[in-house]
Structure 1
Amino acid sequence: MSYLNQVGSTTPLSVGVYMPPDIPQSFRVYSENVLAQLSPFGIKPLPFDSVGTLPRNADVLWDIRSGGGNPPPDFLVGMDTPPLVVTIHGLAPISLKGWEYFTGLKDKLLAKHYARGKQRKWVHIRHRIHSVIAVSNFTKNEAIAFTGISADRFVVCHHGVDSKIFRPTSGAKTESYFFHVSNDEPRKNIHRIVNVFIRLRRKYPVELVLKLPREALSKYQGIEGVRVITGYLNSEELAELYRNALAFVFPSLYEGFGMPILEAMSCGCPVITSNVSACPEVADQAALIVDPRSEEELETAMAAFCNEENLYTRLASAGLQRSKHFSWVSSATCHARVFFLAAQSLR
């Protein structure tokens, strides 16, 4: 059976893909991987970055970048525009306390005000959105409550992972370091990771490798045993850091999906992650799950990798098996169904 038959259509489809230049890197990775798998469905992407380049002849419009509770821009929800599909990646600044998401004092104090403004906009435009793609069941449930959009217009399309790049090592692991990669936002919980590591370092000869933005270097530089990588890494280089790590430490306070969890597992790297947001949905039973606000729980989990010889092997195997439940082909199939249904709404 062809991909087109699987999604219930044989009619070629043009999808206008809204991709402004300032989208976060994780959104770009997501969209590029989905788009790379859409051609077998007869879908032609038409990327655009502003109202001036909006392809009004497209069958469907797709806003890939609704993160942080941000609604689509006004020009995507006009009365004369094609049906709109929106991907919601998460609502971190809505769900977290201001100080757990923002860094500036003004933003921390105005967090609830920002949230109310976004919610009013969603409620105002909700009837002009055909479908919402949520990247996890967790995000779906949060977004239904926040946006006022009915549940029957939501579809969960999990992310995938490129197993050709994010693959296990063929040789023996030779290094003993804990690894973390993120954008250094407060919700990523790096201060707790470092606090725990400093205590752990007094007992065990381990290191902590942090892949962070360049501006984060001064925060952690000079701490014994901590190595901060700030330069650009391609996917192969990132995968190598996962593969050689003792464990990937990701006790995030909030993730709409948590793609690094999946990348680490696909590399055969054991994972320590949170019991909140979408983290347990992605990790399932294949990781050590901790309360991200408890340094005691995090320390116990990290110390376990220094004390229990079989823990690495057991969780590396479990994580690898878990990662096989996710693929970009499956994700693209899910997206294609949504696009075709949106296009059919005008026929």
Structure 2
Amino acid sequence: MRIGIEAQRLLRPQKHGMDVVALELIRALQSIDQENSYFIFVRPDQDEACLNLRDNFTLVRVTAFNYIHWEQVALPLAIRRYKLDVLHCTANTGPLLGNVPLILTLHDTMFLTPPAAGSTATAYQRFGNQYRALLVRRLIARCQTILTVSSFSRQQIRSDLNQPQLAMEVLHNGVSPRFSTPLSLAQRCRAQTRYQLPARYFLFLGSADPRKNVKNVLRAFLLYGTIDETTRLVCSGQWPAALSTWFTAEECLQLSRRCQFVGYIRAEDLPAVYAAATVFLFPSLNEGFGLPILEAMACGTPVITSTLTAMPEVAGQAALLISPHRPAELAGAMQQLVQDTVLRQTLIQRGKQQINQFSWTASARQLQAIYQRYATDVKAITPTDYRLADSVIP
């Protein structure tokens, strides 16, 4: 069988969300399937080392002027050369043209929601959301299978698209074994040195996107600081541009002394950064899944997350759930997990059990079975006949 996987941004150095999901699924498919031929369609970029492909997996580099041209023009032209049995588009959108059976992973429909007040989305990002909003209804009409990552997302997508009977299958994300693998001293030292990690810290992986809730995280940390001035807050990303409009000058000074924004945390460093944290904070306002919850649990770090959207589904009984709109509630949960060692150990043990429900290998097997529905009687061609695909296609 000849399977195409669209993973346009797979090679970009700073991967997020859907890029990570596509990468982990491809890695898991390689571990379980040495028979079918896979063609991974990507846009050329810097991170060539992220995949070590087996003989039956071929990287097809497709160039284009921009995201839309890549997806709607360059990708369909490239696909025609490989006589695919099925094409899987992994990141909410895909080509409208083509006669290859199409599987779409629709992670969520957040792009249908107008930008929140204070949004830092660029003009390009806003245009991208408008493009997705215009495309998605036409695209799902031509899909043979629609996948999503959680039961919550399935319900939300049906509601947002006003299609309560829309057929969708849930394909959960997983958690990589590298997060539960014991860390070497070198790994710990590298992370500590690279990000100047303090001895005790809360970890927050967010961004300037308002739904990540950085303002309330900082507000909660200020409240927590009235009882504990020693534990720091380590945040990914950059200092929020609106900080001085959110807080008084004195509050900004307190935050500057006790918070660290460390920029992008590299994938190879994430396990060590999670493992060294006292508590992981993930009080997001909206998530289609919430993969960092599982990653922190796998590293043995207790988690505080949100009562909203998909996060309770992912966290189960293995995290403290709080209202992300109430900084005092988050501060109270932070205090509870620092002071109550029994609760900490209970959540850590529950987390180790919770992650067993989410396996990339299990998801890859489910995905392989979905692909198999589209098997044809096309004469098999050995993967080596197509190694020329490992080049740039204009």
> Which range, TM-score by smaller chain?
0.7 to 0.9
CA distance in 1, matches of 2:154, 2:329: 28
**TM-score, length of structure 1 as denominator length:** 0.80
Distance 1:334 1:125, change over 3 A: same
Which residue is 1:98 aligned to? Answer: 115
CA distance in 1, matches of 2:302, 2:207: 21
CA distance in 2, matches of 1:249, 1:33: 23
Distance 1:170 1:268, change over 3 A: farther
Structure 1 stretch 150-159 or stretch 261-270: which is displaced more?
150-159
CA distance in 1, matches of 2:137, 2:107: 18
Which residue is 1:186 aligned to? Answer: 210
C-alpha deviation, 1:215, in angstroms:
6.7
CA distance in 2, matches of 1:210, 1:134: 29
Do structure 1's residue 207 and structure 2's residue 200 form an aligned pair? Answer: no
**SS of the residue 1:209 aligns to:** strand
Q: Which amino acid aligns with 2:235?
A: L
Map 1:79-228 → 2, pairs under 5 A: 80-95=98-113, 98-99=115-116, 102-103=119-120, 121-147=135-161, 151=165, 153-167=167-181, 175-204=199-228, 205-212=230-237, 214=238, 216=240, 219=243, 223-228=256-261
Structure 1 stretch 262-271 or stretch 33-42: which is displaced more?
33-42
Do structure 1's residue 243 and structure 2's residue 249 form an aligned pair? Answer: no
Structure 1 stretch 276-285 or stretch 48-57: which is displaced more?
48-57
Which residue is 2:74 aligned to? Answer: 52
Q: Deviations over 1:146-175 (max 9, x none)?
A: 34667563111111111233446799xx94
Match of 1:61 among 83, 87, 103: 87
Structure 1 stretch 332-341 or stretch 159-168: which is displaced more?
159-168
CA distance in 1, matches of 2:376, 2:317: 39
C-alpha deviation, 1:306, in angstroms:
2.7
Q: When the two structures are aligned, how many residues end up with a matched partner? A: 318
CA distance in 2, matches of 1:254, 1:168: 32
Distance 1:316 1:255, change over 3 A: same
CA distance in 1, matches of 2:4, 2:122: 40
For structure 1, list consecutive stretches of 5 or more residues without a partner in the other structure.
1-11
C-alpha deviation, 1:246, in angstroms:
1.2
Which residue is 1:43 aligned to? Answer: 36
For structure 2, list consecutive stretches of 5 or more residues without a partner in the other structure.
43-69, 186-197, 244-251, 379-394
Distance 1:295 1:232, change over 3 A: closer
Structure 1 stretch 47-56 or stretch 195-204: which is displaced more?
47-56
Percentage of identical aligned residues: 25
Structure 1 stretch 225-234 or stretch 144-153: which is displaced more?
144-153
Match of 2:266 among 233, 241, 255: 233
Do structure 1's residue 318 and structure 2's residue 350 form an aligned pair? Answer: yes
Distance 1:270 1:131, change over 3 A: same
C-alpha deviation, 1:182, in angstroms:
2.4
CA distance in 2, matches of 1:100, 1:306: 33
**TM-score, length of structure 2 as denominator length:** 0.71
**SS of the residue 1:261 aligns to:** helix
Which residue is 1:3 aligned to? Answer: none
**SS of the residue 1:81 aligns to:** coil
Distance 1:215 1:58, change over 3 A: farther
Which residue is 1:8 aligned to? Answer: none
Q: Deviations over 1:251-295 (max 9, x none)?
A: 000111101001001111100000111100000111000111111
**SS of the residue 1:281 aligns to:** helix
Contact 2:290 2:314 in 1 (8 A): yes
Contact 1:16 1:58 in 2 (8 A): no
**SS of the residue 1:276 aligns to:** coil
CA distance in 1, matches of 2:368, 2:84: 15
Q: Highest CA radius of gyration, 1 or 2?
A: 2
C-alpha deviation, 1:296, in angstroms:
2.0
Distance 1:232 1:186, change over 3 A: same
Q: Which amino acid aligns with 1:45?
A: Y
Distance 1:105 1:344, change over 3 A: closer
Distance 1:38 1:118, change over 3 A: closer
Q: Which amino acid aligns with 2:336?
A: A
CA distance in 2, matches of 1:100, 1:107: 18
C-alpha deviation, 1:133, in angstroms:
1.1
Contact 1:135 1:156 in 2 (8 A): yes
Contact 2:179 2:298 in 1 (8 A): no
CA distance in 2, matches of 1:18, 1:158: 18
CA distance in 2, matches of 1:314, 1:345: 53
Which residue is 2:25 aligned to? Answer: 34
Do structure 1's residue 327 and structure 2's residue 349 form an aligned pair? Answer: no
Contact 1:77 1:129 in 2 (8 A): no
**SS of the residue 1:242 aligns to:** helix
Q: Which amino acid aligns with 2:120?
A: T
C-alpha deviation, 1:107, in angstroms:
10
Q: Deviations over 1:306-339 (max 9, x none)?
A: 3222221111111111111111101111211222
Distance 1:345 1:125, change over 3 A: farther
C-alpha deviation, 1:344, in angstroms:
6.1
